[in-house]
Structure 1
Amino acid sequence: MKPLAALLAQGQSPWLDYIRRSLLTHGDLARMVNTDGITGVTINPTIFEKAIVGSTDYDAALKGLLAREPHLSAAELYERLAIEDVTMAADILRPVYDRTKGADGFVSLEVAPGLAHNTPGTSRKRADS
């Protein structure tokens, strides 16, 4: 039995603690969900930065964003790209969410450190996105 299948058999919910645009656009995350049993994804700024800097996955998206909105700050660029990736990952995980009646199938995006202990600010930021 594969390790992830063994975890699933024990009632565990394996999540992927990594994201990269090509995982979403080339079918890799869908394969991990459908054949390996991944039931969720976490995204944090450090992982996301490594994915952006360490690949060409985001080059076209960054160029497009900057062409349309050249005034965007680095934080705003991060937010736009992260929201795109979260949306794509959530779409891929939707069948897991439906199958488990909402027990699994989530994408977790770490909030900015300045909002970590600010519940109203975090809620406002979530609502603005």
Structure 2
Amino acid sequence: MNKAQELHDLGQSLWLDNITREILDNGTLRRYIDEFAITGLTSNPTIFDEAIGNSAAYDEDIRDKAKKGKSGEALFLELALADLRRAADLFRPVFDATDGVDGWVSMEVSPLLANDTAGSIDAAARIHAQGERPNLYVKIPGTPEGVPAIEESI
């Protein structure tokens, strides 16, 4: 038994703080779940910015979406949610087996909304709806304006 599995067996949930299309395409995320007892994944705009900017894996998708008029935040969100849906599907058996204790995948609202209660509420609802997965949750910054957005979104 590896150390990660030992931690899991002691009740520790291990989450991956990263996502790239490559780890989805080449089976690395599946292997992390199976071999290292990874039980969740967190992401944020910075993680996706690095993933998209440092990889050719997104280029064709970007070109296709740009031809359809997508740009800026809308394009970014579509790319991110496509990857997060795939990750959520991989974690779904964990989510189901633990009755929702583990198996979560997360996406954060834009940091530009950290001081915008209404904007954070709207963005969280939109991301959750477009995510289309019960084990995808949306993070909202814990700023003075974010706290009411969190309360409203729950």
Structure 1 gap segments, 5+ residues each = none
How many Å separate the matches in 2 of 1:119 and 1:107?
A: 23
Pair 1:39-2:47 in alignment: no
2:71 corresponds to which letter in structure 1? S
How many Å separate the matches in 1 of 2:7 and 2:105?
A: 19
Per-residue deviation at 1:62?
A: 0.7
2:84 corresponds in structure 1 to 86
Pair 1:127-2:125 in alignment: yes
Per-residue deviation at 1:115?
A: 2.2
Q: Is the 2:109–2:123 Cα contact (8 Å) retained in structure 1?
A: no
How many Å separate the matches in 2 of 1:93 and 1:115?
A: 28
- What SS does the aligned partner of 2:89 have? helix
Q: Which has the higher contact order (CA 8 A, sep 6+)?
A: 1
Q: Is the 2:15–2:41 Cα contact (8 Å) retained in structure 1?
A: yes
1:116 corresponds in structure 2 to 114
Q: Deviations over 1:88-119 (max 9, x none)?
A: 11111000000111000001112111223444
How many Å separate the matches in 2 of 1:64 and 1:77?
A: 10
Pair 1:51-2:51 in alignment: yes
Output the aligned Cα RMSD: 1.6
> Which stretch has the larger CA shift, 117-126 or 88-97?
117-126
- The TM-score normalised by the length of structure 1 is 0.88
1:3 corresponds in structure 2 to 3
- 1:22-37 mapped onto 2 (5 Å cutoff): 22-37=22-37
Q: Is the 2:40–2:104 Cα contact (8 Å) retained in structure 1?
A: yes
- What SS does the aligned partner of 1:19 have? coil
Q: Deviations over 1:35-89 (max 9, x none)?
A: 21110001111111111111111111111111222xx332221111111111111
1:13 corresponds in structure 2 to 13
Number of paired residues?
Answer: 127
1:83 corresponds to which letter in structure 2? L
